[in-house]
Amino acid sequence: MSVEENKALVRRFLEAHAKGDLDVLEEMLAPDFVNHNLIPGQEPGREGYLRSFTEYHAAYSDTRYVIEKQLAEGDEVVTSFTARATHDRGEWMGFVPTGREFEALLVLIHRIVGGKIADEWSQGSGLAELTQQRLEQERIERERVEQELRVARSMQQASLPKEVPELEGWQISPYYQPAREVGGDFYDFFELEDGRVGLAVGDATGKGMPAAIAVTASCSMLRAVAQALGSFSPGEVLARVNESLLTRIPPNMFITCFYCILDPKSGRLSYANAGHNLPCCSHHDEPAVTTSELSARGMPLGLMPDMSYEDKESVLEPGESVLFYTDGLIEAHNTQGGMFGTPRLRSLLSEHPEGGTELSATLMEELENFTGEGWEQEDDITLLTLERSPTLS
């Protein structure tokens, strides 16, 4: 074939390519066609080229090629052209449809053998344009996620109580350290009838906006039900909250929660558990400090209807305390993959009789020593200490 015939053949090939004419392309490509400019994920050879062509036209519409110049020598043809198309049909190479027109200046080199396209090389701004498009999409997605996290953090912070109850002979000390990404920890305390106080610590599964929604719903619902029922059993409160949350939190989510009612005069603590970590009590049995757990059975909130929750009771004597916490503490890992764990926590409570803010500071210092430098916090950490003074005034 002459040089002019080769140039005309390439023009027909590009015209068919722009129109999405698969039959013409199959006819014009040599059986042993070689594509020298594979895009990510593209298979080499003739079939891979045709498959990529089909995927492209499934994503882009209104494709136009405007040939600027052609040069030919021997069996090779060099074509520079402007390609325009609109990405409005489907995803392509990880790019979601934007509805915007795509434009690129391309240079293709084709080798012609026996009237067929045997090889193709390409150069041009197309890849740079695609890279820019991907970066722009990533920027938009990053800004969307950051905005969602800001809203979620605001919702989560708003769900936490602003003031700590002042009870004669008692100290309540909350500590909250959020992870970089919003989790679902919460704690709350509120006044009930007869001078009693309700305390709750919980954790919603997941992160981000769904967790923030679950936290907000859980806190408001628990407080409303608890104050409406007054000093009813904690198990009954959790059962009613469970029924209310089933239709108010995102699907495939649940909330663990430990809820208790304190009678400050007697030191009696009645409690129920919805699948949460068991609080640790510190007892000052001279000369040593011993620990025990407040254990009660119950499924997490928001999983299934008609759940019942076991009611238990304990008495905090003067000088004793109880630590409520979330799994961000005990499930923290060090660089070797080891977990902080509940046994370590109970051992530390036995070694450190101090309570309140001093205990929280000690535990966080021990956690830092355990995880080492450069630790990236995996989950929110919530500590809530309830301590009875050694002697009541």
| Statement to judge: residues 109 and 190 lie in one domain | no
> Which one is predicted more confidently, 213 or 369?
369
DSSP string, 116-177: EEEEEEEEESHHHHHHHHHHHHHHHHHHHHHHHHHHHHHHHHHHS-SS----TTEEEEEEEE
Pairwise CA distance, residues 281 & 321, whole Å: 6
Confirm whether 178 is domain-assigned: yes
The pLDDT value given to residue 132: 57
Mean pLDDT along residues 161-186: 83
Peptide bond into 97 cis (omega under 30): no
| Statement to judge: residues 175 and 34 lie in one domain | no
Q: Is the pLDDT of residue 251 over 80?
A: no
Q: Which amino acid is at 328?
A: G
The pLDDT value given to residue 248: 82
Where are the strands (E) in 205-311, listed by range? 255-263, 268-274, 280-285, 288-293
DSSP string, 12-42: HHHHHHHHT-HHHHHHHEEEEEEESSPPTTP
Q: What is the pLDDT confidence band of residue 393, given thresholds at 50, 70 and 90? A: very low
pTM over 0.75: no
The answer for 74, left when phi > 0, alpha when psi is -120 to 50, beta otherwise, is left
Q: Is the pLDDT of residue 42 over 80?
A: no
Q: Is the pLDDT of residue 131 over 60?
A: no
First to last CA, the chain: 108
Give the CATH number, domain containing residue 75.
3.10.450.50
Mean pLDDT of the chain: 85
| Statement to judge: residues 268 and 172 lie in one domain | yes
Confirm whether 135 is domain-assigned: no
| Statement to judge: residues 289 and 341 lie in one domain | yes
The pLDDT value given to residue 194: 85
What order of strands is seen across the sheet that includes strand 268-274? 185-191, 197-204, 255-263, 268-274, 312-315
Give residues with Cβ within 8 angstroms of 333, minimum separation 6.
339, 340, 371, 378
The pLDDT value given to residue 174: 93
Between the alpha carbon of residue 12 and those of residues 17, 266, 358, the distances in Å are: 9, 94, 81
Pairwise CA distance, residues 36 & 28, whole Å: 17
Q: Is the pLDDT of residue 279 over 60?
A: yes
| Statement to judge: residues 119 and 209 lie in one domain | no
| Statement to judge: residues 224 and 304 lie in one domain | yes
Q: Is the pLDDT of residue 58 over 90?
A: yes
DSSP string, 316-373: PPTT-EEEEE-HHHHT-B-TTS-B--HHHHHHHHHH----HHHHHHHHHHHHHHHH-T
Between the alpha carbon of residue 40 and those of residues 95, 109, 251, the distances in Å are: 12, 20, 36
| Statement to judge: residues 240 and 113 lie in one domain | no
The pLDDT value given to residue 94: 72
Contact 223, 347 (CB under 8 A): no
Q: What is the pLDDT confidence band of residue 180, given thresholds at 50, 70 and 90? A: low
The pLDDT value given to residue 289: 74
Q: What is the pLDDT of residues 78-89, one digit of tens each?
A: 999 988 999 898
**Structural domain tally of the chain?**
2
Instruction: Read off φ and ψ for residue 213, nearest 5 degrees.
Output: -65, -45
Pairwise CA distance, residues 78 & 71, whole Å: 5
Pairwise CA distance, residues 24 & 9, whole Å: 11
Mean pLDDT along residues 177-182: 71
Q: What is the pLDDT confidence band of residue 102, given thresholds at 50, 70 and 90? A: confident
Pairwise CA distance, residues 112 & 110, whole Å: 6
| Statement to judge: residues 350 and 262 lie in one domain | yes
Q: What is the pLDDT confidence band of residue 40, given thresholds at 50, 70 and 90? A: low
Q: Is the pLDDT of residue 182 over 70?
A: no
Give the CATH number, domain containing residue 219.
3.60.40.10
Query: Which residue segment(s) compose the domain that 29 sits in?
Result: 3-124
Q: Is the pLDDT of residue 130 over 60?
A: no
Pairwise CA distance, residues 197 & 227, whole Å: 10
Mean pLDDT along residues 213-232: 83
Mean pLDDT along residues 151-163: 72
Confirm whether 28 is domain-assigned: yes
Residue written as token pair 């009590």 = 281
The pLDDT value given to residue 351: 83
Indicate the SS3 state at residue 198. Answer: strand
The pLDDT value given to residue 134: 58
| Statement to judge: residues 66 and 203 lie in one domain | no
Contact 126, 107 (CB under 8 A): no
CA angle, 337 as apex, 332 and 341 as ends, to 5°? 40
Q: What is the pLDDT of residues 230-240, one digit of tens each?
A: 767 999 999 99
Q: Is the pLDDT of residue 126 over 70?
A: no
Both structure tokens of 248:
């108010």
| Statement to judge: residues 264 and 384 lie in one domain | yes
Q: What is the pLDDT of residues 288-345, one digit of tens each?
A: 678 899 999 999 999 899 999 999 999 999 988 999 999 889 988 888 888 999 999 9
Q: Is the pLDDT of residue 143 over 90?
A: no
Confirm whether 153 is domain-assigned: no
Pairwise CA distance, residues 258 & 62, whole Å: 60
Confirm whether 142 is domain-assigned: no
